[in-house]
Amino acid sequence: MSMPPSVEWRVSDIPVPYPEALAFMEARVADIGQGRAPECVWLLEHPPLYTAGTSADPAELLQPDRFPVFRAGRGGRYTYHGPGQRIAYLMLDLNRRGRDVRAYVCRIEDWVIAALARFGVRGFRRPGYIGIWVDLAAHGGRPGDEAKIAAVGVRVRRWISYHGVSINVDPDLGHFAGIVPCGIAGGRVTSLLDLGITASAADMDTALMATFADVFGESTQLPELQK
């Protein structure tokens, strides 16, 4: 029996261990591919940890004993995840959304840009890189200073996507010092709080839910809390 083309939303209010999240995504990807479950967007955070993408260079793990390190299987290099960072894992069927990974990544970036705009933040891409940056001068910084506020890393199996995007709401930015974030030497990271904007994970969830349909073309319903 085929499932309706709706998107299930999950929101977790406590940090989710990385292996648990990965196991859920892999199971859901298989179920979507077999028509046993609908697509899913999961909003959550992790305990402090580092993940290594398929292009990760061991030399870019500067403090290997600081936090647990997990092989993610997604594209990209090293990233940090932890409290205060909102993660959106997207398990979407690209068989019906278009078999174009580059276009899909662009749509994720468009989604983040739209969500950030709800906080008065103008996010933008940098040529040659994946993710979203902000101009610090617009928030009291020096002209020309830019910093990354969101990282994107995806994996696709039989044209079902998983992994997704992490957005810095109010994490401890010092935790990024243990890696070269996304392989950008000297690259600066920022957050909404660092920009002077006080927001909660729930505020970011609301912004992501409100802008999802505009980018991905799906109507959504507010989810019940998943612990």
Residues 186-212 as b/e (b if ≥16 CB within 10 A, e otherwise) read ebbbbbbebbebebebebbbebbbebb
Question: Is-contact 2 35, C-beta < 8 A?
Answer: yes
Per the annotation, the verdict on 106 as an active-site residue is: no
Structure tokens at 51: 């993940």
Location of structure tokens 């729930």: 202
Which of the 8 DSSP states describes residue 32?
H
Question: What is the rounded CA–CA span in Å between residue 125 and residue 32?
Answer: 30
105, 108, 182, 195: which is the annotated catalytic residue?
182
Residues involved in catalysis: 182
